[in-house]
Structure 1
């Protein structure tokens, strides 16, 4: 008699939103990132949103082993934007790799605005994602 063992076939996949959330939380903790936002449409939907959305301003394409990200951000005036970009890239890639095992093969960061922290705080009052950004910065 042959001893046949059943081979268990398993698969682990991630919804794009999971990867976007990990990337958003990592990037929002970078000094100089005031907000991740996606332009005019994002601003309109933010007015009607009741809760913070950590995926705002991020689009992910998730494959079996790799991830590509498009991110939109407002940065703080006077900060080194190239350094912010390097730090975002490192933190996002590290967190996605550590939490999921996926490799970030492309990360594009589009800076859509530069403003002082005070100006940003005044404009962000009452918007759900502004609270998320300030909460995550307080955790550092």
Structure 2
């Protein structure tokens, strides 16, 4: 299924945008927001990326095409200390604006699902570094 955009019936043709493209745009827009630690992906996606495979930019994004319009669900991890309501609003704004700018399509809903919190990594000291 593809999204079709017709602004003027007298144009040269139609533009079709696949839902996967909307997913990639939304995933990249969400990942660029400050305090987003990452996007939720499946075990298979994570292993593929770690083994040097292609990065799935639409991971953690679900696109639903409804009669009312595009509904996007985003599943992400946040940095510890982030203000969740403010961060969620920033993600929603970023996704709506980016999709509108790149495709001209309006998004009906952007639902944010916080699935985890990432804490700062503690520095570890190896036994070789200790002076005994």
Tell me the TM-score normalized by structure 1.
Answer: 0.70
| Paired position in structure 1 for 2:87 | 84
- The number of aligned residues is 110
| Paired position in structure 2 for 1:30 | 33
Structure with the larger helix share: 1
Structure with the larger strand share: 2
Q: Deviations over 1:38-95 (max 9, x none)?
A: 4xxx024321341211100101124698311011001011110111100001110001
| Paired position in structure 1 for 2:126 | none
Q: Deviations over 1:80-135 (max 9, x none)?
A: 0111100001110001011111111011111110121427xxxxxxxxxxxxxxxx
2:48 equivalent to 1:48: yes
Give the gaps of 5 or more residues in structure 2.
Answer: 1-9, 123-132
Whether the aligned pair in 2 keeps the contact of 1:34 and 1:74 (CA below 8 Å) is: yes
Is the alpha carbon distance of 1:8 and 1:96 closer, same or farther for their aligned partners in structure 2, counting shifts above 3 Å? closer
Tell me the TM-score normalized by structure 2.
Answer: 0.74
How much does 1:9 deviate? 6.5
